[in-house]
Amino acid sequence: MRGWAWRWFVLQDNILTYYTSKEKRQIGEKRGQLSLQLALLNIEEDCNFSLTVDEHTYHFQAPDIVERDKWVSELDNAIRNSKVNNQLFIDENGDIQRRIEEAEKYLQLIEKIHIETQNSSATEAATLATLTSGLIENGAEGALMLRAAAGNSSSVASDDKERNDVSDGLTSADIRIKENEAASLGSISVSHQETLTSSDDEFHDCDDVSEHRIMMSGQENIEFMDEENDRGGKEGEGVEAHKSVILHLIKQVRIGMDLTTVVLPTFILERRSLLEMYSDFFAHPEFFSMIPTFSTPRERLIAVIKWYLTSFHAGRNGSVAKKPYNPIIGETFRCFWKTGPSNSTSPLNKRGPVPWSKEDDVCFLAEQVSHHPPVSAFYAESIERRIQFSGHIWTKSQFHGLSIGVENIGNGKLELLDRNESYELTFPSGYCRSILTVPWVELGGETRVTSSTGYRADVKFHTKPFMGGKMHKVSAQCFEPNKKKPFAEFEGEWNADFHWTETVNGEKRGPNEFVDTRKIPTSRKLVKSIAQQEPTESRRLWKEVTENLKINDIEKATIGKRRLEQKQRDERKYRDENKITYQQKLFTKNAKGDWRYNNELKSRS
């Protein structure tokens, strides 16, 4: 990027024309123009906003907030008007039915909000009323398009034209815009906007970067970071101060819309990378490493379920939902947990994924192996217990009106090497609820754990009903090979306690307490100090963003975030221009489409 350059813009109908100066505009010597027909508009921090047109993103900076809001309002109107005109001939067999279904969903949401408003405080009611306004606007646009499709759009279109027709092309003014060094003739910044996945920035946990150090016996040359659990997401961290930005996001999305193209604001970020969040699947390393020690397949399945059901709560360290950083391609994260005594004499795991860990530790490695789609691959092992886990997740986000849903597409494979036994499992989806008040997270969906021995478990993460019902409820059933009746049933909350009932020789025993996540401590992960990390490791990459979020300097955090995102775009552009295929460093995709660590324990045996 070369930085910012001044341009004179004129908006007329749905065309944004720009000139290098006001004088050039007066003589009609334009630099270029953008059609807003399928454009995406985003409000950014300070006086900035952006437009995405034909997969290119253009960043703008107005002289002040007032001027920015004026431009955003007029651009938003122009984009909406162009969408209406573009829908005059909707395919009767497809889009009309979809529009009807969408309008019905908006109506249902508004009815739900109306019920909530009657039982809410004044502040909550005001927020819900604002959201209702946004939903009505979206629903009205759907109705407008249906009228247009039915041939009744003439009066509506004329009203919209009158509303949007401002003399001399709506508005014209000087605005700064960032230009790319490789911009083609007559064009402005060609920044490929990488996005949420769901964007450049989905929900869960991160431990703060601390400058404190601890030393481990037998690892005298390695410094480890002392973990802190304050990663943001505490009570009181609602979105009231940023509601205007959130409301604009609400207005530009549709129910069911894929959020891959929507850039999320920096203030919602949790202070760690998504790769580090996945390490929390092993926050109870003793449950993971104990699985191979049980003598029967039945007992081992129950041990797998205990590890699986307790692997989600550590990802949340506060009641307010925050989203971890979206990893950039090639980013890695390594850590390990102590499972033996602090003065363990176990040898170092020199050939493993974390060579400074010991053989009686549980170690973890993750790499961002793809950006489109955004795929994270991760691996964990314990040499002493001869157990390994390989997994990959592709996060896909959608807007649901009052919440955001994150589908975790992928699977994991747990292998007990000395028993020649494996377990394949899937992951639940995540949901961020109450996105305009105090966001909170819940899990939902049906998953399965399948053993190579024929044993299996069906797990259901229940979402809270709109009226009444319990939050975070989970139920599970374990089955013997070729059996239809479960031999064990579990029920509880993924962030609280579980009870279970076991059937032995036809007799039911229970319910008895199975495990209570509130009573068992999570193990601290051990991560090298930032000074000793590789340049592509998560905490070193995101250090600037993390430190500024910690002191609530959103502007500097945003600058750091954009710098990383732009680096990723530049590297991708270089590869595209030189026809270079990106090569993953630590993982390889096999014939089944699963990502496997190149030097897994099984291959080293």
pLDDT of residue 119: 61
38/126 Cα distance (integer angstroms): 32
User: What CATH code is carried by the domain that includes residue 478?
Assistant: 2.40.160.120
**Within a domain: 42:** no
- Percent with pLDDT over 90 in the chain: 34
Report residue 167's pLDDT band, with 50, 70 and 90 as the boundaries: very low
**Within a domain: 352:** yes
71/42 Cα distance (integer angstroms): 12
**Within a domain: 146:** no
Q: Which distant-in-sequence residues (6+ apart) come within 8 Å of 321 by Cβ?
A: 203, 233, 432, 433, 439, 440, 441
pLDDT tens for each residue of 150-165: 444 333 333 443 333 3
Which candidate, 7, 15, 8, places its Cα nearest to that of 164? 15
- Tokens 């449950």, residue located: 287
Q: Which distant-in-sequence residues (6+ apart) come within 8 Å of 580 by Cβ?
A: 574
Res. 278: pLDDT tops 80 = yes
Q: Do you find a cis peptide bond into 511, omega within 30 degrees of 0? A: yes
pTM > 0.75: yes or no:
no
Do 102 and 255 touch, CB atoms closer than 8 A?
Answer: yes
- Tell me the three state secondary structure of residue 267: helix
**Within a domain: 292:** yes
pLDDT of residue 256: 58
25/302 Cα distance (integer angstroms): 73
pLDDT tens for each residue of 536-585: 999 999 999 999 988 888 888 888 998 898 888 888 888 899 898 899 99
pLDDT tens for each residue of 472-523: 899 999 999 999 999 999 999 988 899 999 999 888 998 999 999 889 988 8
User: Structural domain tally of the chain?
Assistant: 1
* Cα distance from N-terminal residue to C-terminal residue, the chain: 49
Phi, psi of 297 (to 5 degrees): -60, -35
Q: Residue 408: which domain range? A: 213-604
Mean pLDDT of 235-245: 50
